[in-house]
Amino acid sequence: MQIKSALDSERLDNVEQDLRELGYHIIENVISPEEADEAREVIWKLIDEDIENGQDHSYGDGKIRRVWAIVGKSPIFRHFIQHPTVIAVWKRMLGEDVIASTFTANVVGPGAPAGGWHIDYPYWAMQSPFPEGSLTGQTVWMLDDFTVENGATACIPESHKTLRRPELGEAEGMESVVATAPKGSIMFTNGAIWHQSRPNNTDSPRVGLLGMYNRSVIYPQEDMPRQLSDEELIEESDVLKQLLGRTIPFRDPDHGRNYHRTEDGFR
């Protein structure tokens, strides 16, 4: 796989500024159309497997499909999760010790309704007002061209600055931007921005990947550390081990004087 070098510092400043002020930033053509097609094919195979195993997950009148835990399911997603462009952005926003929180596919099928305005984990699990600054960030990988008609993600600029979730119905009618870009592009968002997938009014599914990253002290949304076994990780990069939370010393049960509950009390 051809991986372009990470962003230069001027572009990174630009991304940071947009994420802080607007709450989103799009970089076009991070991967080639061929790489996007390859990943898209893998997602279809995984959907078939999920259906076969009775593990399929759909919502939005059964027209939006989610595939969970993709990092352990194909090497291509192990490349994507640690893509230098993505890691440069999240290290800048969330710290050098950034970790991954979840990596899934979201397939908005023909006729799908809007996904519903929301904020992302951990914000939806938190009481407002949220702390200022970034706790988490979303990475929307476009494996199809994202268009106004086919269910591209919509965001309400600057809504992350409210430091709260939208009330039911509050975001309807507010001015939003639609993340339209060619396949292979990425949209980065502040996890607290109000957003949703739009209705898909075309005959073709819109395939996206959603990679979330957290500050390392925030518990990941999915069980990232166990998506790859120790053996599978041997050949993998230090960055991937870090992202999966395998290198956080204070999560080691024996870290420091970490007493354990036994039958006779704490020892």
**Which residues in this chain contact ligand AKG in the complex, by CB under 6 A?**
106, 115, 120, 140, 153, 195, 197, 208, 210
Q: In the chain, count of helices (H) and strands (E)?
A: 6, 12
Ranked by CB distance to Fe ion, the top (closest) residue is: 120
41 Cβ neighbours under 8 A, 6+ residues apart:
none
CA–CA separation, 118 vs 114, rounded Å? Answer: 11
Burial class (CB in 10 A: 0-12, 13-18, 19+), 172: exposed
Give the residue with the Cβ less far from Fe ion, 124 or 252.
Answer: 124
Binding mask 75-114 vs Fe ion (x if CB under 5 A, - otherwise)? ----------------------------------------
Residues 116-135 that bind Fe ion (CB under 5 A): 120
* Least Cβ distance, residue 230 to ligand AKG (angstroms): 30
Residue 197 touches which of Fe ion, ligand AKG, none (Cβ within 5-8 Å per kind): ligand AKG
Q: With beta carbons less than 8 A apart as the criterion, state whether 174 and 156 touch.
A: yes
Give the residue with the Cβ less far from ligand AKG, 30 or 140.
Answer: 140
Residue 214 touches which of Fe ion, ligand AKG, none (Cβ within 5-8 Å per kind): none
Instruction: Count CB atoms within 10 A of the CB of residue 259.
Output: 9
Give the residue with the Cβ less far from ligand AKG, 82 or 106.
Answer: 106
Residues 244-263 that bind Fe ion (CB under 5 A): none
Residue 102 touches which of Fe ion, ligand AKG, none (Cβ within 5-8 Å per kind): none
Q: With beta carbons less than 8 A apart as the criterion, state whether 144 and 157 touch.
A: no
Piece of 67-75, 115-123, 169-177, 215-223 that binds Fe ion (CB under 5 A): 115-123
Q: With beta carbons less than 8 A apart as the criterion, state whether 165 and 124 touch.
A: yes
CA–CA separation, 9 vs 16, rounded Å? Answer: 10
* Least Cβ distance, residue 106 to ligand AKG (angstroms): 4
CA–CA separation, 96 vs 85, rounded Å? Answer: 14
**Rule CB under 5 A: which residues touch Fe ion?**
120
